[in-house]
């Protein structure tokens, strides 16, 4: 697999992914083209989200992808021979720091995301992020983040105020697309040297 780049050029293509159930039509992409155009994409319901995502990323050839999905399991599963009942079989250090769901509770989605990371191989690095925590970091929750579609315009307006370099015309139709944007912001922070990192890198870090 391609290693995490140590630096990215200003025009590097970054992609944010909100990852959902395989056939639910809830997996979304966000990316910004070199000309500044912002693009949202949402998989169609009943279409294989994993294959769609692989096809889109192979086509886009991004320098970096940040995805809202666990890409590792708790460290205990790497050392079961040394484990005892006091070990944490559910949460990683990063999950606890950000109050994120356990990779074990997410089950099949975690397995699919880890497989996707390997399937992408040399195409692009896949890095774990958490849009909910990014929304907290940016102060978006009091604005109605994910409360109702009516509050989406206010949340996106606040994001544009924080990142005036972002420009878009039409608003997205789902919060999944907004979460893809928040995932992208994690990659953008990494590009700018502003990323916050949570967890044990040997177990699986979460970047914001």
Q: What is the tens place of the pLDDT at every residue in 141-180?
A: 999 999 999 999 999 999 999 999 998 988 899 999 999 9
Q: What is the pTM of this model?
A: 0.96
Tokens representing residue 98 in the block: 């950000």
Q: pLDDT digits over 64-75, tens only?
A: 999 999 999 999
Residues with Cβ within 8 Å of residue 189, at least 6 apart in sequence: 195, 196, 207, 208
pLDDT of 32 over the 90 cut? yes
Return all residues near 142 (Cβ < 8 A) that are at least 6 apart. Answer: none
Per cent of the chain over pLDDT 70 is 99
pLDDT in tens, 82-105: 778 888 899 999 999 999 999 999
So what's the pLDDT on residue 185?
Answer: 98
pLDDT at 121: 87
User: CA angle at residue 120 from 126 to 40, to 5 degrees?
Assistant: 65
- Burial class of residue 173 in the structure, from the number of CB atoms within 10 Å of its CB (0-12 exposed, 13-18 middle, 19+ buried): exposed
Phi, psi of 83 (to 5 degrees): -80, 160
Task: Determine the pLDDT at residue 153.
Answer: 94
């Amino acid at each position: 697999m391609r290693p995490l780049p140590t630096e990215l050029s200003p025009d590097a293509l970054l992609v944010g992914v909100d990852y959902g159930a395989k056939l639910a039509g809830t997996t979304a992409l966000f990316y910004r083209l070199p000309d500044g155009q912002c693009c949202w994409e949402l998989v169609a319901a009943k279409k294989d989200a994993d294959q769609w995502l692989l096809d889109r990323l192979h086509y886009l050839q991004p320098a970096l992808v940040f995805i809202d999905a666990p890409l590792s399991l708790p460290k205990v599963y790497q050392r079961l021979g040394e484990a005892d009942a006091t070990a944490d079989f559910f949460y990683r250090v990063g999950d606890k720091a950000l109050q994120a769901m356990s990779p074990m509770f997410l089950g099949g989605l975690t397995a699919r995301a880890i497989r996707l990371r390997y399937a992408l191989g040399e195409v692009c690095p896949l890095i774990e992020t958490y849009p909910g925590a990014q929304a907290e970091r940016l102060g978006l929750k009091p604005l109605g983040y994910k409360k109702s579609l009516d509050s989406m315009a206010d949340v996106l307006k606040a994001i544009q105020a924080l990142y005036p370099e972002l420009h878009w015309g039409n608003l997205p139709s789902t919060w999944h697309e907004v979460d893809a944007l928040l995932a992208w912001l994690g990659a953008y922070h990494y590009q700018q040297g502003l990323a916050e990192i949570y967890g044990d890198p040997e177990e699986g870090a979460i970047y914001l």
